[in-house]
Amino acid sequence: MKSIVLFCLLFILISCKEEKKEVQNPSFLIGEWIRTNNKKESITYEFWKSDFTGLGYTLKNKDTAFKEVLSIVKINDTLHLEVKGVNENPTLFKFTNQTDTSFVCENPINEFPKKIKYILDRKQLKATVSSDDFVIDFVFDKLH
């Protein structure tokens, strides 16, 4: 009798154990994207490769006005967006929410942005970078 009770308790504990969901890289990012809501004198691109490394840059009068190197990296089973080239050191934004077609990542101690959101909306990639009092929206169409 004791062994049956012990077996039942063990079975219940194992059954109730929460399964850890495998983190998935946001495959909807992959591709070459061009920003459609730029200022007239500039053009912005984001390129994402299948290894989840990316490059974002803005051309103004054919000169590079802005450039950042992007990567999705896993740290302790949690995804982060790593941004290089803007600050002296890379900045990490921890994924705080993710679906098959979107993610939100945050770094509350970063001056700007504190939050970055990407969403695939129909065939457009939309990104929002924000802090407590300032927001910039990006809308991209896929080039290829």
Residues 45-63: pLDDT tens digits? 999 999 999 999 999 988 9
In degrees and rounded to multiples of 5, residue 21 shows phi and psi of: -80, 130
Q: Is 27 left (phi over 0), alpha (psi -120 to 50) or beta?
A: alpha
Low-confidence residues in the chain, pLDDT < 50: 3, 5-19
What does the pLDDT read at residue 144? 74
Give the separation between CA 97 and CA 138, rounded to whole angstroms: 19
pLDDT given at position 83:
98
CATH code: domain 25-142 is: 2.40.128.20
Distance CA 105, CA 115 (A): 6
Ranges of each domain in the chain: 25-142
